[in-house]
Amino acid sequence: NAGVMQNPRHLVRRRGQEARLRCSPMKGHSHVYWYRQLPEEGLKFMVYLQKENIIDESGMPKERFSAEFPKEGPSILRIQQVVRGDSAAYFCASSPDGTANYGYTFGSGTRLTVV
């Protein structure tokens, strides 16, 4: 079992460019969660997706951020027109059901740096 796979591990973007972060959940998991970790901060929930559905995006900034989890392929977190404040570590996690009752398995994260 390969676990939760995220790529790229590191991503550098100039201000105004787009960033695309990918996450493949663990085999058999159809529930995906994205969290963001700003420097010196804890992980903050962004969005919860199932295949082809956004269940809860209450933690997503209202503009420039979007997420999808298509029927085929990985989940994508997209950040348009990046700004320096978007620099953070973005973690994806997956679970076999729609709860965090027993915790999740996290991927290794994508560290986004905006220059």
Partner 1 sequence: EDKVVQSPLSLVVHEGDTVTLNCSYEVTNFRSLLWYKQEKKAPTFLFMLTSSGIEKKSGRLSSILDKKELFSILNITATQTGDSAVYLCAIAGAGSYQLTFGKGTKLSVIP
Residues that bind partner 1 (CB under 8 A): 4, 31, 33, 40-45, 48, 55-56, 91, 95, 98-109
Output 18 or 56, the one with its CB closest to partner 1. 56
Output 66 or 108, the one with its CB closest to partner 1. 108
Spatial separation of the C-alpha atoms in residues 110 and 97, rounded to whole Å: 24
**Can you name the residues that pair with 5 across neighbouring β-strands?**
24
Q: In 3D, which of 2, 49, 54 has the Cα closest to residue 26?
A: 2
Output 28 or 102, the one with its CB closest to partner 1. 102
